[in-house]
Amino acid sequence: MTAPSEAWAPQTAIGVQDAVREAIATRAAIRIAGGGSWLDAGRPVAPDARVLRLDTLRGITQYTPGDLTLTARAGTPLREIAEATAAEGQWLALDAFATSDDGGSIGATIATASAGPLAYALGLPRDIALGVEVVTGDGEIIRAGGRVVKNVAGYDLTRLMTGAWGTLGVITEVSVRLRARPEVDRTLALARAGPAESAADVAAGLRTAAMAPLAAELLNPALAARLGVTATGSPVLLLRLGGNAERVASEQMEAGKLGDGAVIDTDVWRALRQCERYSPGAVVVRWSQLPSLVANTWRHAVECCAGSPEALIHASLERGVVRAIIPAADTAALARVLHPEDRPSGGPVFVGRRIAERLPARLWSAEPAPGTTDRLARRVRMAFDPWHVLNPGILGEGARDAADRHGGSP
């Protein structure tokens, strides 16, 4: 691990540029750290990497409420943005899962394309980012996109940088689209009588119900109990309804068809975002396939976690994404998650994608690294980080790439 004294802590984009240029000159690897809350998650970066801190690069640089857009330096915590926008009756609808109190930094949220329960209704990071300032891996400061809500000028480097985990450039500033807060923002907790398989009914019910919730998240009993929303031992559906009073009242009536509900404090969403905290050191994975198959995905997750009573499972039903937080000690559950093909029982086949968010370091090497090995992806990396100085290894790219950095010309 790099000693803190060796970390770069730039105050400006030019400071970031200096760091990247120094890294290129000395063939050093850079480990980009926003708020630092992701450092222990994700794939290990080359062990000799030097940390580039971005928490020193913070602050909202432009916010005109009437434009419903905001620009902030990369290290700005989401909580700071939430406070500034709440004062104007607005919000940034990025609610990625994060362990830190401050919600993580805007730069890291965009760089990792992390999404939370609001994503189905209000968009993924790729839908919300309007523009970025980036220091590319060859040490150039570039800008992409802009500060306006509609923009097709030039090739879309904003989308390219969103979700690239810093491997194409260090994001130094981000412009985002904001939304006006709904007049009423109400959360319901619906207890689902019956077995966990009821995910199928919930999902089907949601599709046909006369409602368009801001979020619809199914919780397994363990997570529901942790969040204090029920103690009945059944799964719980959290519904977030927004709009004018009349609309929300109507949706609330409609929600009654999906289960017995109670209005609860909207703060539950903050607790859900941080639910990894209930299980320090846990393994975090998520599965996704077609939304119409979300009940199968849910069952797959539940079966994998059988025998792990502390495993926390939740699903963004409309996106078809199921996420699980599994205590590292529950090795049997972990083995089933990572090697479902070894599973004895013949449940529904899961044919979608499993993405690991947090794994013990030793397990990362066996994880597939989708989307990093094909020709186009390798060429993108070569075009923007030709010396592989930026977060080398974080996408699971092979030993060859690391050799490129040290050995010079590929």
Partner 1 sequence: MPAPALAAAGGQAGGVTPGAGSDPSPPIDAASLARALEAVVGPRGVLRRRSELAVYTADGLPGYRKFPSLAVFPANRAQLIDVVLVLAEHGAPFVPRGAGTGLSGGALADDVVLVGLNRLHRVLSLDPENAVAVVEPGVVNAALTRAAAPFGLYYAPDPSSQAACTIGGNVAENAGGPHCLKYGVTLNHVLGVTAVLSDGEVVTLGPGASGAESAGYDLLGAFVGSEGCFGVALDVTVKLTRAPQAVRTLLADFMSMDDAARATSAIIACGILPAALEMMDGPTIRAVEASIYAAGYPADAEAVLLAEVDGLAAGLDTDAGTIARICTAHGARTVRIASDPADRARLWQGRKKAFGAMGRVSSHLVVQDAVIPRTQLPAVLARIRDIATRHRVTVCNVFHAGDGNLHPNIGYNAYDADESARVDLAMREIMRICVDAGGTITGEHGVGLDKIGYMELIFSPSSLAAQCRLREVFDPERRMNPGKVVPVHSCREWSRRPS
Q: Please list every residue from 138 through 167 that binds partner 1, using CB under 8 A.
A: 138, 140-144, 146-160, 162-164
Per-residue binding letters, 209-228, with partner 1 (x by CB under 8 A):
-xxx----------------
Binding mask 225-264 toward partner 1 (x if CB under 8 A, else -) reads ------------------xxxxxxxxx-------------
| Shortest distance (Å) from residue 68 CB to partner 1 | 7
Q: CB-based contacts of 374: which residues, under 8 Å, 6+ apart?
A: none
Question: 334 to 373, contacts with partner 1 by CB under 8 A?
Answer: 352-353, 355, 370-372
Q: Is 253 exposed, middle or buried (0-12, 13-18, 19+ CB in 10 A)?
A: exposed
Residue 36 binding partner 1, by CB under 8 A:
no
DSSP helix/strand/coil, 20: helix
Least distance to partner 1, CB of residue 124, Å: 9
Kindly tell me which residue out of 30, 33, 168, 311 binds partner 1, with binding defined by CB under 8 A. 168
Q: Which of 15, 36, 65, 340 binds partner 1 (CB under 8 A)?
A: 65
| Rounded Cα gap, residues 378 and 369, in angstroms | 12
> How many CB atoms are located within 10 Å of the residue 18 CB?
15
Q: How far is the CB of 169 from partner 1 (least distance, A)?
A: 8
Choice between 9 and 160, CB closer to partner 1: 160
What's the closest the beta carbon of residue 352 comes to partner 1, in angstroms?
4
How far apart CA 142 and CA 117 sit, in angstroms, is 32
Q: How far is residue 78's CA from residue 81's CA, in Å, rounded to a whole number? A: 5
Q: How far is the CB of 315 from partner 1 (least distance, A)?
A: 13
Q: Does 114 bind partner 1 (CB under 8 A)?
A: no
With binding defined as CB under 8 A, does residue 320 bind partner 1? Answer: yes
| Residue that has been written with the tokens 């059988």 in this structure | 306
Positions 272 through 291 that interact with partner 1 (CB under 8 A): 286, 288-291
Distance CA 54, CA 75 (A): 5
| 378 conformational bin, left if phi > 0, alpha if psi -120 to 50, beta if neither | alpha
Are the C-beta atoms of residues 291 and 206 closer than 8 Å to each other? no
376 binds partner 1 (CB under 8 A): yes
Contact flag: residue 399 with partner 1 (CB under 8 A): no
Q: Which is nearer to partner 1, 227 or 293 (CB)?
A: 293
As measured in angstroms, the least distance from the Cβ of 221 to partner 1 is: 25
Residue 4 vs 66, nearer CB to partner 1: 66
Q: What is the distance between the alpha carbons of residues 174 and 130, in angstroms, rounded to a whole number?
A: 8
Comparing CA positions, the residue from 276, 319, 281, 267 lying closest to residue 298 is 319
Whether the CB-CB separation of 75 and 105 falls below 8 Å is answered with yes
